[in-house]
Amino acid sequence: MTNPPLPKNQNKSSVISRRGLMTAAAAATGAVATGAVANAQEAKQAAAGAVDAKQGRLNQSVCKWCFPKMSLEDLAKEAAAMGMVGIDLLDPPDFPTLKKHGLVCTMVQSHPLSDGLCDTQFHDMCIEKINAAVEATSAEGWKNVIVFSGNARGIDREKGMKNCVDALRKVVPVAEKAGVTLQMELLNSKVNHADYMCDNSQWGVELVKRVGSDHFKLLYDIYHMQIMEGDIIRTIQQNHQYYGHYHTAGNPGRHELDDTQELLYPPIAKAIADTGYQGYFAHEFLPVRDPIAGLRDAVAQCIV
């Protein structure tokens, strides 16, 4: 088949030139469209990854010890970007870094976990460290200092409770005057902290009642109490007035709040918010994947 004759006053080179222009224009249009799609996808991904904890009713924070490969500076920067209010379980030398990023220490450390208030041999040491932590916390205008029952070491529960009450009545007046609340953490004695005395809500709530001060409450760790007693939402609803702080983590494994574990955090977070809770809600999971992606997801789940 022969090519049709060229129109009059049109040569072969002009046809090729026009075809080239049309091809180039089509390519340019395709490139623009591809670029627009790529930009839209990037924007969608960025929007999906962005979280702002301040949009919810809970004041979210995070525990630094769970992110050992990150500097406090880097974690503080990430926490602030996610709308979190602070970082848990730090000491006074860490405070300047927090304040640089507009954060607070949502729980200040005091005495060792296993050497606690249920055993009188540790009272002098614990009281000294608690008072020092209260002073440092109050100086910043912050709220919380952690305390522990410690391990029983053969002490029965009633005696251990009496020992805790005796020690707390020496330090709670100091905390009251300073506007600070002492928070005893509920920990599991089944998996992580064998022999720890304050390992269930019933014992802890009774201790709070005996101390009888609004400046002594329980740190309700959801992971630990799932192991020890379960029935998380109902327990929170019935006892929320005794809980002054919350920790999160997945169970089993104490990892991310994802579909590998048995706790469903959005309704738990909602139940806490629905009690009118105004304190701090801190993430304390050990990441096994990208730590910031896991933290971002945990924050998003708990925006209620």
DSSP secondary structure, 97-128, as one string: HHHHTT-EEEEE--S-SSS-TTSGGGHHHHHH
Average pLDDT over every residue of 170-182: 98
Average pLDDT over every residue of 10-23: 44
pLDDT-derived band at 49, boundaries 50, 70, 90: low
Number of Cβ within a 10 Å radius of residue 198:
28
Question: CA–CA separation, 283 vs 64, rounded Å?
Answer: 9
Tell me: pLDDT of 151 over 80.
Answer: yes
- 266: three-class secondary structure by DSSP: helix
Residue extents of the structural domains in the chain = 1-49, 54-301
User: pTM of the prediction?
Assistant: 0.84
Tell me: pLDDT of 23 over 80.
Answer: no
pLDDT-derived band at 9, boundaries 50, 70, 90: very low
* 54-301 is a CATH 3.20.20.150 domain: yes
pLDDT tens digits for range 263-282: 999 999 999 999 999 999 99
Whether the link from the prior residue into 252 is cis, omega within 30° of 0, is yes
Question: CA–CA separation, 246 vs 61, rounded Å?
Answer: 10
Could you tell me which residue, 18 or 273, shows the higher pLDDT?
273
Q: What is the pLDDT of residue 265?
A: 98
pLDDT tens digits for range 210-244: 999 999 999 999 999 999 999 999 999 999 999 99
